[in-house]
Amino acid sequence: MYGHLIDKHPLFSGLHVDLLRQIVGKLDRCIYFPQNVIIESGDVDDTMYFIHDGEVEVLEKGKPHKNMYKARTTVEVLMLRRTSWIHLLDFFPDSKEQIYNRIVFPDSSYMKV
């Protein structure tokens, strides 16, 4: 149901299909109503946020973690916490290497989708 959001992300694109299926199973769904704060300026955590439906307003534009993200409409957000999926990479060594290279060498061809 949400696999297209994960597969389109540059970090996960082209990884082993079984790994992607398991990662999708780790997504947490959350609904935010208009004017609800999704991420407060200065928040730092190990979560990726995928907007599945709705509109989000970005306030206090700046560097990452310097912005506030607020729901403009009713928003469905899927959250992926690093701790919920990182252990799966031990079972997919090729995908683990791909992710490592995409993080360490973000400007290289590894990030080209």
Domain tally for the chain? 1
Containing domain of residue 93, as a range?
3-111
- CATH number for the domain harbouring residue 55: 2.60.120.10
| Predicted confidence (pLDDT) per residue in 69-112, tens digit | 999 999 999 999 999 999 999 999 999 999 999 888 877 654 44
- Residue 40: how many CB atoms within 10 A of its CB? 12
Among 16, 36, 32, 33, CA closest to 24: 16
The encoded tokens of residue 43 equal 């928040």
The encoded tokens of residue 30 equal 């959350």
Mean pLDDT of the chain: 88
pTM, to two decimals: 0.79
Which H or E run includes 48?
Answer: strand 47-53
The encoded tokens of residue 92 equal 């997919």
